[in-house]
A and B are shown apart, each in its own frame.
Chain A
């Protein structure tokens, strides 16, 4: 009989046997718990109110409350998640196994439903959380679409805020003109109730405009790449910004406000899911492989019958489309846009997310976008020192992992969702 394994190892072994379904149910249980008993518990452990972002903001503001905040996080998040996930591992494994026998859309829908429910209850606690969540999802869309160009195709494109601005302004002009009184048509042309139905079309229109703008970067990319393309895309960004500033129709540098409140959490969530799904499929398609070939050696790719021009143009249009959609959502989440938002600062932020998370990887982009945006929000109490810590972190990541945290990794839905243990106990 072998000696009993140490506690930590058995715990890790047991954790490794929990499928994603189990973790998601655990998270759902935790956030439901927080939604209903969060406030009394927070008061009981001596916190003024429910900590907005896992207690980090409270820890930084009032260092004396660190033990209380840690206690709260353990009680509300870690304990319930671990308890539910571990205790139901047998059940969730059976369930996941059963689901995987159905068409892949069914298990995916179940997981996404659970994820959305968890996020919904989490964001229900305060408006601030819901705003952070929406902006994080938009950041995921932007990062993924930039990764298509910078990671998968190996160009250094600087025009992403420009595409985003095109999408944001196009979507805003349509919604403000159609649904808000006192604008381009004097009165609102359509009743506000039709807004949610027209909003997807509106976003797609914004994306298409951004894709049209991308032609101005994609066509020069036939003849040049590397630094010259970086400059062309940078010039494009300056031109778009300057155009908007000089365009009285969209109120120039003062910016547009008063977009109707159309981008709720469900809308943003479903667009983000759609974006991840389509980009994940795109990069694993033939065109995606052709992009990798163009990145690694353009001449060899051409010799192997890859149509490099077509590949470049498709990649640029596709990435710009999603950047435009993300821009439209961004404008409707904040309900205000001005040209200053889409400048070099924004560019540095998106680039940081892509390179922090990892090139050529959907996982990496999600990790990069989530961690940089949550870090940016959580470190807010540090005020300006935030802009020392985040760049330092990024420099360290670049030095120790030059291609980012999770680079060159495919997102396989089937592996992600599969049960971690068979019905008779073996893995």
Chain B
């Protein structure tokens, strides 16, 4: 039982990365009906920006210019990197997706893939092949809850990701910009006629999605402090699977599916040899999609839909 609970805690942490990245895929999908294949690499860029920002803040604080405690540095790092990474997302949209808005969707998928490769290679050129590690800003404290070990980092990661998801939900439900996003997801043709600035809303969507990916990148850096330029590839594709599994364009679905993917991967690794993890996890996904081809919360497929 203790092992089960322990793995539950671990998979909550693992799933929160997937959930945060899947949210970005899902938001862009609900509006533009296309998947931003550069999103996994934006997660990677976010992690690296986080490293840069935190080292900068640490240097400032140790030199005495800006004496702030380490936990505040962490909070500032997350916020600041989210802000910076959102611009990366907007640039990707401006360069790779806006010129192709009326083109076949597969072409936009290809530009996304290529931008991803450029981001990876650019990172390699700028920083070289050495791995970068995240500074440890908070001391790890372990709490023993009846045989289940929980660290403060794990609690923080799960809490921050849930908080961000909730904030996103509120933003989409309560604000004018969120209403514009919902309207565009509902009908892309009529909304511009109502005076909604379409380009701004799309850029904002990319920005918010990228900010969430950056948060995931920093949280990942806190849990597993070594970053490398290709970490976004596999994570991105897996989060893409989660976004689809949740149902297209559904925020709730993407979050749930992200956590579900985390659970599956951790529990498969617990029961079977860990080399079988991908095999069994994806077989389960294939099975789910065979019986529910439109994901958990998506609309059923009909041939009428222009794809």
Contact = CB atoms under 8 A, between A and B. Distances in A.
Interface of A: 150, 154, 156, 216, 220, 223-228, 230-232, 234-236, 238-239, 241-243, 245-246, 297-299, 302, 344, 348, 351-352, 355, 359, 384-385, 387-388, 391-392, 394-395, 398-399, 402-403
A235 B278 CA distance: 9
Given A234-B240, A235-B282, 15 more contacts: A150-B106, A156-B109, A224-B294, A225-B307, A226-B305, A235-B241, A235-B283, A239-B286, A243-B279, A344-B233, A387-B118, A391-B114, A398-B100, A399-B99, A402-B103
A228 B289 contact: yes
A395 B104 contact: no
A231 B289 contact: yes
Contacts of B121: 384-385, 387-388, 391
B117 interface: yes
A384 B125 contact: yes
Contacts of B29: 227
Which of B35, B110, B275, B285 has the most chain A CB atoms inside 10 A of its CB? B110
B294 A245 contact: no
Secondary structure call for the A interface:
helix
B46 interface: no
Nearest to A222: B293
Interface string B1-38: 00000000000000000000000000001000001000
Given A156-B106, A242-B278, A394-B110, A220 B237 contact: no
Contact of A395 (B115, B124, B283, B293): B115
Secondary structure call for the B interface:
helix
B241 A226 contact: no
Nearest to B242: A231
B122 interface: yes
B142 interface: no
B290 A238 contact: no
17 contacts: A220-B290, A225-B307, A226-B301, A227-B248, A227-B307, A228-B301, A235-B241, A236-B286, A241-B278, A242-B276, A245-B275, A246-B279, A387-B120, A391-B118, A392-B118, A398-B114, A403-B104
B93 to A, nearest CB: 13
B162 interface: no
Nearest to A158: B237
Given A224-B293, A227-B248, A242-B279, A232 B286 contact: yes
B7 to A, nearest CB: 21
B185 to A, nearest CB: 15
A302 B293 CA distance: 20
B241 A234 contact: yes
B111 to A, nearest CB: 5
B96 A235 contact: no
Interface of B: 29, 35, 95-96, 99-100, 103-104, 106-111, 113-115, 117-118, 120-122, 124-125, 233-234, 237, 240-241, 244-245, 248, 275-279, 282-283, 285-286, 289-290, 293-295, 301, 303-305, 307
Contacts of B99: 399
Given A384-B125, A395-B114, A235 B301 contact: no
B110 A352 contact: yes
B294 A228 contact: yes
Contacts of B122: 388
A228 B115 contact: no
Contacts of B107: 355, 398, 402-403
B240 A231 contact: yes
B282 A227 contact: no
Nearest to A232: B289
Contacts of A298: 303
Contacts of B301: 223-226, 228
